[in-house]
Amino acid sequence: MLAARLAEQDMVGLSDSDAAARLNEPDLAFPPIETWVETKIGIGSILDTLGPTKGAQFLDTLEELSKTTPVIRWGLELIRGPGLDLSRTSARAQLTMLVAGKFLEQSDADALLSLSRRVSPVSWAEAHMMRVDARAVGIARGGR
């Protein structure tokens, strides 16, 4: 697989070390890796992220919905208390539910989720689960 990649036009003529460097650079041809870091949001972070007016309207909407919707009630309890952790699947599902119900705009949900979401680009080497260095390139090209 490495030998075939090295035979492609953009790799021909590169030194072994330059070829290895290119194969370890982020490659937009591959989907990035998405991870979630623990991020607890509360009233303050909602107001900061959505703005005071829109944030207050969103919190008021949650307050009203919490009277009839247990999922929202417990999410609001976390927002008021230790914080709703956006790295948790259940918290992200609550935001998805609010967007689907037209209680939250997708752009606002994305803004909140961006507090916790990390996207890392992937290199050709990572996408193929290979360790690629100058030595590996040289060997793949027929060297020793």
Q: What is the pLDDT along the chain (144 residues), one digit of tens a residue?
A: 999 999 999 999 999 999 999 999 999 999 999 999 999 999 999 999 999 999 999 999 999 999 999 999 999 999 999 999 999 999 999 999 999 999 999 999 999 999 999 999 999 999 999 999 999 999 999 986
46 and 114 part of one domain: yes
88 and 42 part of one domain: yes
46 and 113 part of one domain: yes
120 burial level (CB within 10 Å; 0-12, 13-18, 19+) = exposed
Return the closest-CA partner of residue 65 out of 75, 50, 56, 78.
75
Residue 19's domain comprises 2-32+121-140
Say what the pLDDT of residue 143 is. Answer: 81
Q: Residue 118: beta bridge partners?
A: 35
HSE-up of residue 109 (Cα within 13 Å, Cβ side): 16
Number of domains within the chain: 2
| Single pTM value for the model | 0.73
Sequence-separated (6 or more) residues with CB below 8 Å from residue 17: 134, 137
Sequence-separated (6 or more) residues with CB below 8 Å from residue 107: none
Say what the pLDDT of residue 144 is. Answer: 64
77 and 62 part of one domain: yes
In one-letter notation, the amino acid at residue 123 is S
